[in-house]
């Protein structure tokens, strides 16, 4: 639930939410609750997220019976109820006080009694990090910064885990179906790392040396990062084992922060911290992740936990949690249905009014959104088609990104944006769990500035290509060592089929296609030939050996003012002379590698994001992609998710229209506006070309117009979501 911190430009309040449970263990030993769950609610009070709220009004009407009844009316499959936050227990605890306004009531008891009548699974929400009262009462639990100053965040190597277990043991006595353990981070803001006596001792034991004195970005800091990662993982393992032992059958899940935009600071890796519960739970929402982040989060979570269900959490508020606002129905439906289309199950977080009042408008909308989603339930949950793997290198995140992880995320996110805009089905490949098998799932893999690769990764990529895989490399991929230092030579010259000459110092680099175009004619589709265009981002000069050059990379002009140091390089200047090829196509074994000297991925999310830069990446991918199951032509504001049920020979094309109207000038940080809320259903057309022979096609919405001409389908949709269900022979 909560938290945190800020730098000078923004303050994020992070919250947390919830979790899960298993239903009715003794009555029927069927599948655990989450296997059948599609949608749920998490309900918690508002008031303590910024401190220990006092007085008789706070949470006075926070009432388990009402919450369960409203949850049932809203057609939710389960309820996550707050049992413990940073300051209070909402049940009779011997460890923590209840808010004064609750009097003698016990919310967990009220909730369980009412839920039993309705067979509603109940998951108890329990804070882990930011257990502020525990920290104040037990100063030994505090983290300590590198200067030796304690601060109010819980150290997982102190006696705090034992305290958490005691709280969990109390909650488990209520026969809840599951526990959602929230915030297993080690800080979203400074200070980073803990130098308390427990950590110092453990570190010494493990590494035979003292901790580094601070953030040193050297071998010692590498150990420190490892130490932090292991600390988080150890706590998750410990709490899971405790719950399994104390109450077998009760589910456990952790709020996950291994995905972008989170970095090493949080203390989580994409894979290492993803699978200690019964399923992964992650947040989403435009407030912290962008509109594109909704689908990206869902797929990232799935990539981190192959085979496990994915729970994604969204919020009711127009800005974030606890803000006492309610989004329009269609805005909520867009996010909910996007997540469901990506085969997640979804929890909406409701933070009640200060006194615990439940906003009737919010519950009306939850009910409508859930009822609508459940009417489409049979069309969710099938395997998502992923033609192209986007490679995510957490080592690059940590050691190239260092204190500016955006330097790396921009490339990963630019590759993702390209897939969505161009309606190319994509998935995520994680460096932590790389194997030949994980690579072979994808006919094409893109490495968007995966700058730090190790020997094992390079060897696997070579095998992948030799066996017929197709690889696209951009920018500085493979040009940094494990500690994030620039290399003098490249580890991937054999893949590229070229000799590494140098990294460009400039970011305002240009590409011109035309020269050598016959080698890969489709690279210039929709881009004017012999025209230099800006591809802002890292670029490399290569000298082809076995590879064939395509197009030219051009260095930027430099004005005299720039040369004299009176003007910086932030703003792009025009193209000057060619310095190397724009791309190199290298055949190797049965596969091939296309190396883009510039970074169209980075360019696409930069402030100078011309469309042609994105088209360059699209063309590279389309040049390599085998004939797809279905090809989709739809506007850029429409996300397509394709699922394929091979058993029933059914392809489903989910079309999700995003429609945020224009916004006005913000009062600060111009021009960085918040996107507007969706109030109107978009109307859009999509063309779908189907490869296998179509037997039957249907759509779900009455308002959708569907036309079929042989293997081509044309739909006009008047909603934020439609599913084109294609039966083939
Ligand atoms: Zn510590």
Number of H-type helices and E-type strands within the chain: 19, 29
Distance from residue 268's CA to the centre of ligand 1 (Å): 16
CA proximity to 10, closest of 291, 350, 261, 283: 261
Tell me the per-residue pLDDT of 529-566, one tens digit each, with 9 for 90 and over: 999 999 999 999 999 999 999 999 999 999 999 999 99
Average pLDDT in the chain: 95
Q: Give per-residue pLDDT as tens, 324-352.
A: 999 999 999 999 999 999 999 999 999 99
Is residue 590 over pLDDT 60? Answer: yes
Cα(194) to centroid of ligand 1, in Å?
5
Give all strands (DSSP E) within 12-94, no chain letters: 39-44, 79-84
How many angstroms separate the alpha carbon of residue 168 from the centre of ligand 1? 22
DSSP state of 480: B
pLDDT tens sequence across 372-430:
999 999 999 999 999 999 999 999 999 999 999 999 999 999 999 999 999 999 999 99
Contacting residues for 267 by C-beta, under 8 A, at least 6 apart? 184, 185, 186, 187, 228, 229, 231, 232
Distance from the CA of 201 to the center of ligand 1, in angstroms? 9
Q: For residue 645, report the phi and psi dihedrals to the nearest 5 degrees.
A: -100, 100
- On the question of pLDDT at 597 being above 60, the answer is yes
User: How many whole angstroms from 84 Cα to the centroid of ligand 1?
Assistant: 23
Phi, psi of 187 (to 5 degrees): 120, 130
**Per-residue model confidence (pLDDT) at position 31:** 83
Using the mean position of ligand 1's atoms as its centre, give its distance from the Cα of residue 474 in Å: 40
pLDDT tens sequence across 184-208: 999 999 999 999 999 999 999 999 9
pLDDT number for residue 23: 38
- The token duo for 345 is 């199950």
Q: Has residue 12 got a pLDDT over 70? A: no
Q: For 278-322, how does the pLDDT look when each residue is reduced to its tens digit (9 = 90+)?
A: 999 999 999 999 999 999 999 999 999 999 999 999 999 999 999
CA of 203 to the centre of ligand 1 (A): 10
Residue 126 has pLDDT above 70, yes or no: yes
- Locate tokens 């094309």: which residue? 653
Distance (Å) from CA 144 to ligand 1 centroid: 6
What is the average pLDDT across 237-262? 98
Average pLDDT over every residue of 486-504: 96
Q: How far is the CA of 129 from the centre of ligand 1 (A)?
A: 13
Judged against a pLDDT cut of 80, whether residue 26 lies above it is answered with: no
| More reliable by pLDDT, 202 or 12 | 202
Domain 388-624 top-level CATH class: alpha beta
Q: How far apart are CA 228 and CA 218, in angstroms?
A: 15
Could you tell me if residue 50 is left (phi over 0), alpha (psi between -120 and 50 degrees) or otherwise beta? alpha
Instruction: Give the max Cα distance, the chain.
Output: 80
**CATH 3.30.70.1450 is the classification of domain 630-728:** no
Query: Distance from the CA of 265 to the center of ligand 1, in angstroms?
Result: 15
C-alpha of residue 42 to centroid of ligand 1, in Å: 31
Which tokens go with 397?
């995140």
pLDDT-derived band at 30 (thresholds 50, 70, 90) equals low
Take residue 65 and report the two structure tokens written for it.
Answer: 């019976």
If you measure from the C-alpha of residue 711 to the centroid of ligand 1, how many angstroms do you get, rounded to a whole number? 62
pLDDT one-digit tens code per residue, 62-111 = 999 999 999 999 999 999 999 999 999 999 999 999 999 999 999 999 99
Per-residue pLDDT, 172: 98
d(CA 51, ligand 1 centre) in Å: 23
Whole-number Å distance, alpha carbon 223 to ligand 1 midpoint, is 15
CA of 52 to the centre of ligand 1 (A): 24
If you measure from the C-alpha of residue 289 to the centroid of ligand 1, how many angstroms do you get, rounded to a whole number?
Answer: 30
Residue 19: the pLDDT is 35
Percent of the chain clearing pLDDT 90 (strictly above): 94
The CATH superfamily assigned to 33-141+153-182+229-379 is Glycosidases (3.20.20.80)
Instruction: Return d(Cα 640, Cα 631) in angstroms, integer.
Output: 10
| Dist CA 327 CA 706 (whole Å) | 31
Token reading at 630: 């279905």
- Measured in Å, residue 160 CA sits from the centre of ligand 1 at 10
pLDDT above 70 covers a percentage of the chain that reads: 96
Q: Is 65 exposed, middle or buried (0-12, 13-18, 19+ CB in 10 A)?
A: middle
**Domain coordinates of the chain in residue numbers?**
33-141+153-182+229-379, 388-624, 630-728
**Phi, psi at 583, each rounded to 5°:** -150, 155
Cα(392) to ligand 1 centroid in Å equals 30
Distance from residue 154's CA to the centre of ligand 1 (Å): 8
| Distance separating alpha carbons of residues 23 and 250, to the nearest angstrom | 8
Task: Report CA(47)–ligand 1 centroid distance (Å).
Answer: 29
What is the whole-number distance in angstroms between the Cα of residue 50 and the centre of ligand 1? 24
pLDDT in tens, 151-176: 999 999 999 999 999 999 999 999 99
Secondary structure of 549-611 as H, E, C letters: EEEEEEEECCCHHHHCCCCCCCCCCCEEEEEEEEEEEEEECCEEEEEECCCHHHHHCCCCCCH
Dist. CA 340 → ligand 1 center (Å) = 39
Under DSSP, the state recorded for 546 is S
Contact in structure between 518 and 587 (CB atoms under 8 Å): no
State the distance from the centre of ligand 1 to the C-alpha of 208, rounded, in angstroms. 17
Residue 6 is predicted with a pLDDT of: 35
| CA 143 / ligand 1 centre spacing (Å) | 5
- Distance from Cα 185 to the centre of ligand 1, integer Å: 13
Instruction: Give residue 196 CA to ligand 1 midpoint distance, Å.
Output: 4
CA of 540 to the centre of ligand 1 (A): 43
Give me ligand 1 centre to Cα 567, in Å: 46
448 in helix, strand or coil? coil
Angle at 473 between CA 470 and CA 479, to 5 degrees: 135
pLDDT classification of 35: cutoffs 50, 70, 90? very high
Coil, helix or strand at residue 281: strand
């Amino acid at each position: 639930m909560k938290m945190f911190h800020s730098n000078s430009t923004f303050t994020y309040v992070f919250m947390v939410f919830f979790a899960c449970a298993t239903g009715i263990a003794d009555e029927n030993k069927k599948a655990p609750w989450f296997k059948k769950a599609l949608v749920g609610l998490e309900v918690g009070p508002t008031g303590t997220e910024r401190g220990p709220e006092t007085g008789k009004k706070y949470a006075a009407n926070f009432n388990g019976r009402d919450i369960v009844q409203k949850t049932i009316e809203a057609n939710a499959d389960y309820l996550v109820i707050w049992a413990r936050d940073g300051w209070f227990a909402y049940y009779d605890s011997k460890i923590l006080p209840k808010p004064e306004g609750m009097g003698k009531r016990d919310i967990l008891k009220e909730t369980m009694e009412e839920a039993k009548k309705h067979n509603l699974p109940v998951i108890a929400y329990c804070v882990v990090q930011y257990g502020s009262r525990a920290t104040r009462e037990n100063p030994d639990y505090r983290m300590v910064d590198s200067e030796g100053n304690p601060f109010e965040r819980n150290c997982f190597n102190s006696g705090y885990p034992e305290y958490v277990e005691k709280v969990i043991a109390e909650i488990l006595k209520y026969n809840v179906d599951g526990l959602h353990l929230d915030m297993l981070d080690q800080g979203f803001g400074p200070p980073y790392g803990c130098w308390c006596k427990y950590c110092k001792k453990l570190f010494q034991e493990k590494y035979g040396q003292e901790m580094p004195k601070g953030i040193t970005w050297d071998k010692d800091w590498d150990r420190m990062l490892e130490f932090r990662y292991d600390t988080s993982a150890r706590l998750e393992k410990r709490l899971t084992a405790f719950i399994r032992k104390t109450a077998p059958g009760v589910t456990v899940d952790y709020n996950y922060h291994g995905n972008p935009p989170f970095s090493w600071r949080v203390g989580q890796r994409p894979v290492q911290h993803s699978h200690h519960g019964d399923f992964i739970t992650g947040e989403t929402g435009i407030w912290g992740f962008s509109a594109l982040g909704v689908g990206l989060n869902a797929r990232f979570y799935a990539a981190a936990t192959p085979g496990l269900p994915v729970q994604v959490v969204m919020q009711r508020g127009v800005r974030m949690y606890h803000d006492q606002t309610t989004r329009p129905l269609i805005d909520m439906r867009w996010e909910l249905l996007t997540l469901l289309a990506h085969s997640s199950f979804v929890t909406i977080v409701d933070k009640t009014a200060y006194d615990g009042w439940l906003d009737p408008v919010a519950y009306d909308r939850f009910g409508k959104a859930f009822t609508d989603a459940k009417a489409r339930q049979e069309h969710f949950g099938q395997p998502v088609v992923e033609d192209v793997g986007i490679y995510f290198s957490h080592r690059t995140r940590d050691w190239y990104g260092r204190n500016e992880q955006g330097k790396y995320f921009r490339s990963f996110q630019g590759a993702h944006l390209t897939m969505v805009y161009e309606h190319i089905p994509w998935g995520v490949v994680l460096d932590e769990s790389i194997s030949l098998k994980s690579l072979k799932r994808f006919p094409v893999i893109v490495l968007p500035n995966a700058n730090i690769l190790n020997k094992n990764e390079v060897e696997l990529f070579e095998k992948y290509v030799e066996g017929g895989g197709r690889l696209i490399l951009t920018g500085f991929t493979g040009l940094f060592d494990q500690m994030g230092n620039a290399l003098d030579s490249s580890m991937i010259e054999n893949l590229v089929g070229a000799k590494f000459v140098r990294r460009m110092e400039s970011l305002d680099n240009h590409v011109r296609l035309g020269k050598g175009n016959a080698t890969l004619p489709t690279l210039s589709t929709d881009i004017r030939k012999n025209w230099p265009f800006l591809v802002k981002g890292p670029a490399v000069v290569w000298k082809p050996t076995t590879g064939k050059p395509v197009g030219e990379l051009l260095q930027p002009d430099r004005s005299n003012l720039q040369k004299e140091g009176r003007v910086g390089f932030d703003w792009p200047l025009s193209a000057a002379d060619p310095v190397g090829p724009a791309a190199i196509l290298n055949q190797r074994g049965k596969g091939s590698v296309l190396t883009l000297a510039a970074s169209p991925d980075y360019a696409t999310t930069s402030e100078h994001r011309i469309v042609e830069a994105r088209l360059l990446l699209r063309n590279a991918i389309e040049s390599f992609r085998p004939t797809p199951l279905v090809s989709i032509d739809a506007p850029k504001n429409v996300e397509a998710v394709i699922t394929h049920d091979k058993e029933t020979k059914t392809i489903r094309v989910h079309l999700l229209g995003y429609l945020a109207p224009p916004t006005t000038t913000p009062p600060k940080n111009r021009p960085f506006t918040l996107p507007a809320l969706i109030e109107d259903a978009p109307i859009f057309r999509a063309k779908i070309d189907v490869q296998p022979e179509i037997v039957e096609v249907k759509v779900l919405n009455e308002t959708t117009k569907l036309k079929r001409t042989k293997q081509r389908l044309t739909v006009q949709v008047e909603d934020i979501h439609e599913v084109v269900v294609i039966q083939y022979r």
